[in-house]
Structures are given as structure tokens and as C-alpha cells.
Amino acid sequence: MTKSITVLLADDHELVREMLAERLGNEPDIEVVASVADAGEALEAARDCAPDVLVLDIDMPGRSVFEVATEIRKLHPSARVVFLSAHLTDQYIEQALEVEAAGYLTKDEPTSRLIDAIRAVARGATHFSSSVSERIVIDEHGAHLGRDHLTRLRLLTQREVEVLGHLAQGLPKKSIARLMNISVKTVEKHCDHVMEKLDIHDRVQLARFAIREGLSQP
């Protein structure tokens, strides 16, 4: 008898998590061994059950799902990671590829595509949504974003990315200064650097860029 593919699910939306667990559990060759609400819980569960495949929602509160995926794969090098996200941004795709994800699916995909992905990655293949595949190149160096999709966020420092995120939420500079515990003058300097590096000199266009890159979430 063929061994079941053991799967760990992590999604902070309980209804989504339960629906997926039930649907996957109906497959004869798939066993859901853990179902958790955030990346930190996923790490703890992975220590105990050593799943074959991890299905991780990208947008969860708490620890970075990418950092945790890296830690889990250090513990269990054979584990395969499939990311799920409602947001298709070059930044997320790039981070997923950097941690050697075997798959990346958008949440508008039918559950049958996730099942296909789990089976594919369990046998050593990769599986990406078509909207993800068209942005990446797979060659002798592995999977990476195509040159046309290299995110310009790489040009920014972490502080500049943080300022950009606050701008995308529509916060005034005084509020940003208070949140970041820096002066308004320093915020203005960060804004100037962001606009210069991205070659975007209009606040509306800057906000649109940030939203595309998934930085507008509070």
C-alpha cells in the first residue's frame, strides 16, 4: 500500500483552514497531520510531525512565513513548501523562490489545483499558478523572477520600505514619524530617497506601486 502524503496546513482564517483540511482529508493518498493558524504554530507542529508537504498562507499575523519556512526546511530538508496567497506580488514571489518553495498558488484557484500541487511537489516536481509561472524563469540556477519582474523594492532599505508602506495606507508624515519614533524631517528624507530610487515622483503613483507590492496592509 502506497504511503500517504502527510500535509501541514497553516492559514489564519479558520473557515478556509477547516474547508481545506476536510477536502484534502477526502483524498485517499493525502493525510492532513496538522492544521494551524500562524507561522509560529506551523514551526512547532512541524517539529512534531515532520510533514512531507507544508501548505502555508503567506498573509498571516505573527512571524514571517518565509523565515519559518526556512527554519522548517533546516529541520526537515526533504519537506516541500507550497505557498498560498490572495495577493500576487513580485515581492512575495521573489521571497518564496528565495526560500526554495516548490509551489505558489493564488487563492482564486480551485481546490483541485492545490491537490495537484501537493502530489506534484511530493514527487519532487514544482507547481505554480499560471500567473506566477509567467513571471519566473527556471534554468540551471533554479527558479527565479524573470529580469522584467525583478522587484524594485530591492533598491530600498528596510526603513524606506516601512515608510513606503505607511504612505500607501494614506498616513500623513507626522503620523508616520510618530509611529516610527523618528522626526518628520527624517520621514521626509526617507520619502525623497524612495522617490529617487524608484523614479516615482508622484505620491499617488507611489501608493499604487506600494499596493502592487503588497505593502498597503496595516
C-beta of residue 24 within 8 angstroms of C-beta of residue 51: no
C-beta of residue 177 within 8 angstroms of C-beta of residue 183: yes
How open is the CA angle 90-77-153, to the nearest 5 degrees?
Answer: 20
The mean-pLDDT minimum among 113-127, 139-153, 197-211 falls in 139-153
Q: Comparing C-alpha atoms, which of 36, 45, 40 is closest to residue 18?
A: 36
Q: Provide the pLDDT for residue 203.
A: 81
Q: How many residues does the chain have?
A: 218
The fold of 153-212 is Arc Repressor Mutant, subunit A (1.10.10)
Torsion sign across C-alpha atoms 107, 113, 115, 118: negative
Range 5-149 has CATH code 3.40.50.2300: yes
Which residue would you say has higher pLDDT here, 1 or 37? 37
**Domain segments of the chain as ranges:** 5-149, 153-212
Percent of the chain past pLDDT 90, that is, above it, reads: 52
Which residue would you say has higher pLDDT here, 214 or 71? 71
The mean-pLDDT minimum among 128-132, 150-154, 157-161, 209-213 falls in 150-154
